[in-house]
Amino acid sequence: MQMNQIDVRQRIRNDIVEGVLAFGSRITIDELATRYQVSHMPVREALRDLQGEELVIIEPNRGARVRSVDVKFVRNLFEMRTALEGMLVRQAALRCTPADLTRLNGIETDLEARISDQDYAGVIRANRELHRAINELADNPETVNIVDRHWTLLAALWRHFGYNEDRFDGVSNDHRHLLRAMGENDADGAAAIMHAHVVKARQVLLHRVRAHQALQDLTIASARTTRRKVP
């Protein structure tokens, strides 16, 4: 049975997040249709949807490409995430019940167990689950949908540039302080902790992006020097 547009969109999204389709790489409808064994129409529609998620860039007369990443883009992405998640956690903290807190603490306990087991892929999944559960408590589905799209892109960025497993203990510590504030229905405290939490992640990822770019620049410069030396 042929995949529909939603199936194709998810397959393309997964391939970007997993690095099969690299950042900045050109992609064509023909290639994707062959890869997923579908007609051109669901691929074309899926690419339009993914453009809305900022994973794909469609350029007139030039086709499509997976978006490129630079320091400015990462900074802008985190500024938006800081504002939106800060707003959501304020609302979530005011709504948080003892039952909600028990559920959130259970997710965090699972996350910490995965850190102990060095199951870093599991840590990433549990981290996503915790943030999604907090955001859903805010009862603001429109904003949550925007944040979810950003999380998809952030997952691709972390996978591409590396997670920096050393920071996971700090992430867990932030989570415990955040959940304590939510248990006290302290909206201001929860928002302040979430702001600091996101800023830390931004600094780590920006450092990795800059290091990656510096390595690329060094490689390009070395290749040019080598070419000049060739008689």
- Please identify which residue in the block is written with the tokens 């064509």: 28
Residue 1 pLDDT exceeds 60: no
Residue 5 pLDDT exceeds 70: no
Per-residue pLDDT at 7: 87
Please state whether the predicted TM-score (pTM) of the whole model is above 0.85. no
pLDDT in tens, 42-81: 999 999 989 888 889 998 878 899 988 888 888 998 999 9
Per-residue pLDDT at 2: 53
Residue 227 pLDDT exceeds 80: no
| Domains of the chain by residue range | 5-66, 71-216
For the chain, give the mean pLDDT: 89
For domain 71-216, the CATH architecture is: Up-down Bundle (1.20)
pLDDT in tens, 120-170: 889 988 999 999 999 999 999 999 988 988 887 888 888 888 877 788 999
Please give the torsion angle defined by the CA atoms of residues 42, 46, 47 and 49, in that order, rounded to the nearest 10 degrees: 150
Per-residue pLDDT at 141: 94
Q: Tell me, which fold does domain 5-66 have in CATH?
A: Arc Repressor Mutant, subunit A (1.10.10)
Q: Please choose, from the candidates 147, 156, 121, the residue with its C-alpha nearest in 3D space to the C-alpha of residue 24.
A: 156
CB 124, CB 155: distance < 8 Å: yes
Per-residue pLDDT at 211: 87
DSSP code of residue 185: T
Q: Among 10-24, 85-99, 104-118, which stretch is predicted with the lowest mean pLDDT?
A: 10-24
